[in-house]
């Protein structure tokens, strides 16, 4: 007896809980035994020499090229102060503006707390770039979609590993916030 | 120059392995007694900076250090390139130098910041993480080496400041270079952990009597790694700005310590000269040369005038003039002292 093939729909990824609870393995804070789930990269401009190793490491990690224009973080000389280098890198915000603004719901916060852009859903409108206070997401010219830092999938980020002066620090969010406050008061 | 000249009879041993010098033939045998400190030359030092190499050897012997070349030295495996490609490859390549040094029972001494940070971070990472040590030892076993992790790594500045001591360095200065104005560039990696090395650098420089001129571009990177990614920016925005500042301030010399930085300075100066028709006149001088001059050695003792992209003649003339003036002052003071009742 021939039975009719029963159609079963594919299991779609549910996007509804867009800010998910962090379920990932905690990461060890460098130089300590403490394990946390919320680490961020902070830049100390007083230590930065503008060597651009972070950008080059990032470009190599993600695009296998030393061309720093492919990097997902940015270091430039300050227009106000000679020999002073400022940086912009994704902080994987607790409530990301890019995520809130995306009209295609292509941006999500994954189980490790990393804010990601889905390359399949992104249409390259650039709203995320406009919404982000420091304009982190950038256009990938070849794929015509927006791309951003993915925290090297939860490893110690390559920019942090490559930093030649220790200007990039990997800290728990609370400590990072304290450091930024201290740096600003200086 | 009328300066009490140091004894040059104790010639510096030249058992340089990485130069491929004839003496290196003896290295495989164990006839040469290993020194306490093994000088890791790196790639740039023997190729582009023979004067700095010689000056470093001279001053180390002069300060009474048990100092010789490290034998069987390989590439440091520069972290700026290798770490990005594969951290495990970088660790394995660097560990070969560390294992060689451990076998020879020496402390590795680096003048190049790139070499230093590579050795320093590799041994730190390996001793802290036993899994990585196991991985590296599996690789090293293929070349009959084993790393226990006992080897010590020192920057040359650390060696001078901590092991020799400032008192001894100051006491050996017989030709104070008072009146020489310099800009200095220590390099990025030396700033990595804290401000100790930059402070040591300044302190030792000041001990020679030179005046250090601070500028906004002191901290700025030389652009060595950026040169692979964006040559234009590396030359114009880094070397160009630094050298133009030096030119504008009319300093007598740009003092560096890192061989990697020197490589980039030399390249930048040559590109400016050949492609843009701009010639910089501020000589780029190694820290050891300045110390050797202050210790009373003559520029000819370490071949200071050779293989230079920017001539050092004007700098040497100024040093000679200062020495003559100091000698005159000293003679005057002595005469005055003799005339006293």
Q: What's the pLDDT at A38?
A: 78
Q: Which residue of B has its CA nearest to A81?
A: B216
What the block records as the tokens of B141 is 């076993």
Q: Report which secondary-structure segment, H or E, holds B286.
A: strand B284-286
| Residue whose entry in the numeric block shows the structure tokens 């048990």 | B66
Contacting B residues, span 188-207, partner chain A, CB-CB under 8 Å? 188-189, 191-193
Q: What's the pLDDT at B19?
A: 43
Cβ–Cβ below 8 Å for A165 and B189? yes
What does the pLDDT look like over B168-220, one tens digit per residue?
A: 999 999 999 998 999 999 999 998 888 899 999 999 999 999 999 999 999 99
Instruction: Tell me phi and psi for residue A74, to 5 degrees.
Output: -135, 135
Q: What's the pLDDT at B27?
A: 43
Q: What's the pLDDT at B26?
A: 42
Closest partner residue to A52 among B83, B85, B229, by Cβ? B229
| Position A18 pLDDT exceeds 50 | no
Cβ–Cβ below 8 Å for A50 and B220? yes
Cβ–Cβ below 8 Å for B191 and A165? yes
Cβ–Cβ below 8 Å for A158 and B84? yes
What the block records as the tokens of A161 is 């590993």
DSSP A156: S
Helix spans in B79-165 (H)? 79-85, 87-104, 113-128, 130-140, 156-158
CB of B216 within 8 Å of a chain A CB? The answer is yes
| Residue whose entry in the numeric block shows the structure tokens 């196991």 | B134
Instruction: Tell me phi and psi for residue B256, to 5 degrees.
Output: -125, 165
Its ipTM equals 0.79
What the block records as the tokens of A91 is 């902080």
For chains A and B, count residue pairs whose Cβ atoms are closer than 8 Å: 80
| Position B150 pLDDT exceeds 80 | yes
Q: What's the pLDDT at B84?
A: 83
pLDDT band at A13 (very low <50, low <70, confident <90, very high): very low
Beta bridge partners of A138: A147
CA dihedral sign of residues A144, A149, A152, A158 = positive
Q: What's the pLDDT at B20?
A: 39
| Position A23 pLDDT exceeds 80 | no
pLDDT band at A2 (very low <50, low <70, confident <90, very high): low
What the block records as the tokens of B197 is 């090395």
pLDDT band at B12 (very low <50, low <70, confident <90, very high): very low
Of residues B261, B263, B243, B241, the one with CA closest to residue B253 = B243
Cβ–Cβ below 8 Å for B84 and A52? no
Q: Nearest CA of chain A to the CA of B133: how many Å?
A: 18
Cβ–Cβ below 8 Å for A162 and B117? no
The residue among A58, A66, A152, A156 with the most chain B CBs within 10 A of its CB, best to mutate, is A66
Give the 3-state secondary structure of residue B98.
helix
Architecture of domain A32-89+150-186: 2-Layer Sandwich (3.30)
Helices B50-62 and B287-294, packing angle to 10 deg: 50
**Equal fold, A32-89+150-186 vs A92-148:** yes
| Position B268 pLDDT exceeds 60 | yes
Q: What's the pLDDT at B132?
A: 93
pLDDT band at B134 (very low <50, low <70, confident <90, very high): very high
Instruction: Tell me phi and psi for residue B253, to 5 degrees.
Output: -160, 155
Own/partner contacts of A108-111, CB < 8 Å, gap of 24 or more, are A108/A15, A108/A18, A108/A20, A109/A18, A109/A19, A109/A20, A110/A20, A110/A24, A111/A20, A111/A22, A111/A23, A111/A24
Q: What's the pLDDT at A21?
A: 36
DSSP A19: B
Q: Structural domains in chain B? A: 22-159 (1.20.1050.140), 175-327 (3.40.50.11810)
* Topology of domain A92-148, CATH: Alpha-Beta Plaits (3.30.70)
Indicate the range of A105-114, B53-62, B104-113 predicted with least confidence. A105-114
Beta bridge partners of B338: none
Domain residue ranges of chain A, discontinuous segments joined by +: 32-89+150-186, 92-148
Helices B259-271 and B241-249, packing angle to 10 deg: 80
What does the pLDDT look like over B280-339, one tens digit per residue?
A: 999 999 999 999 999 999 999 999 998 898 999 999 999 999 888 888 888 887 776 655
Q: Which residues of B touch A55 (CB under 8 A)?
A: 229
- What does the alpha-carbon distance between residue A149 and residue A75 come to, in Å, rounded to a whole number? 14
What does the pLDDT look like over A39-92, one tens digit per residue?
A: 889 999 999 999 999 999 999 999 999 888 999 999 999 998 988 999 999 999
- What does the alpha-carbon distance between residue B292 and residue B32 come to, in Å, rounded to a whole number? 26
């Amino acid at each position: 007896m021939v039975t009719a093939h029963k159609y079963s729909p594919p299991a779609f990824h549910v996007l509804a809980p867009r800010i998910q609870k962090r379920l990932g393995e905690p990461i060890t804070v460098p130089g300590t035994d403490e394990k946390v789930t919320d680490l961020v990269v902070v830049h100390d401009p007083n230590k930065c020499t503008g060597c651009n190793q972070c950008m080059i490491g990032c470009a190599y990690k993600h695009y296998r090229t030393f061309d720093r224009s492919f990097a997902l973080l940015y270091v430039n000389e300050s227009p106000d102060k000679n020999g002073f280098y400022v940086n912009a890198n994704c902080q994987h915000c607790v409530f990301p503006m890019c995520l809130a603004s995306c009209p295609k719901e292509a941006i999500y916060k994954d189980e490790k707390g990393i804010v990601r852009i889905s390359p399949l859903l992104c249409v390259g409108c650039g709203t995320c770039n406009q919404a982000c206070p420091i304009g982190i997401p950038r256009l990938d010219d070849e794929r015509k979609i927006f791309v951003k830092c993915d925290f090297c999938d939860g490893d110690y980020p390559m920019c942090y590993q490559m930093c030649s002066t220790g200007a990039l620090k990997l800290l728990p969010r609370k400590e990072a916030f304290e450091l930024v406050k201290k740096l600003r008061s200086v | 120059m009328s300066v009490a000249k140091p004894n040059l009879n104790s010639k510096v041993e030249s058992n340089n392995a990485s130069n491929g010098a004839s003496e290196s033939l003896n290295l495989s045998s164990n006839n040469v007694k290993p020194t306490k400190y093994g000088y890791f030359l790196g790639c740039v030092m023997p190729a582009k900076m023979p004067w700095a190499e010689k000056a470093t050897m001279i001053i180390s012997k002069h300060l009474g250090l048990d100092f010789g070349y490290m034998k069987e030295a390989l590439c440091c495996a520069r972290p700026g390139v290798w770490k990005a490609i594969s951290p495990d490859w970088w660790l394995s390549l660097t560990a070969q130098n560390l294992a060689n040094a451990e076998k020879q029972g020496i402390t590795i001494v680096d003048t190049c910041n790139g070499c230093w940070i590579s050795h320093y971070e590799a041994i730190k990472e390996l001793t802290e993480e036993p899994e990585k040590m196991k991985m590296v030892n599996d690789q090293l076993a293929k070349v009959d080496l084993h790393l226990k992790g006992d080897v010590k790594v020192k920057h040359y500045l650390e060696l001078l400041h901590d092991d020799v001591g400032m008192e001894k360095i100051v006491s050996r200065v017989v030709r104070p270079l008072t009146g020489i104005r310099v800009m200095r560039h220590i390099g990025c990696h030396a700033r990595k952990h804290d401000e100790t090395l930059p402070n040591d650098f300044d302190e030792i420089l000041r001990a020679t009597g030179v005046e250090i001129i601070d500028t906004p571009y002191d901290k700025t990177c030389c652009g060595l790694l950026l040169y692979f990614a964006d040559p234009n920016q590396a030359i114009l925005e880094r070397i160009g700005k630094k050298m133009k500042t030096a030119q504008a301030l009319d300093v007598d010399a740009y003092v560096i310590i890192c061989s990697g930085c020197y490589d980039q300075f030399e390249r930048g100066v040559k590109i400016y000269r050949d492609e843009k028709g701009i010639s910089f006149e501020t000589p780029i001088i190694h820290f050891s040369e300045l110390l050797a001059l202050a210790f009373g050695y003559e520029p000819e003792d370490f071949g200071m005038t050779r293989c230079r992209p920017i001539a050092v003649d004007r700098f040497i003339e100024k040093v000679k003039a200062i020495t003559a003036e100091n000698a005159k002052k000293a003679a005057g003071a002595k005469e005055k002292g003799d005339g006293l009742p």
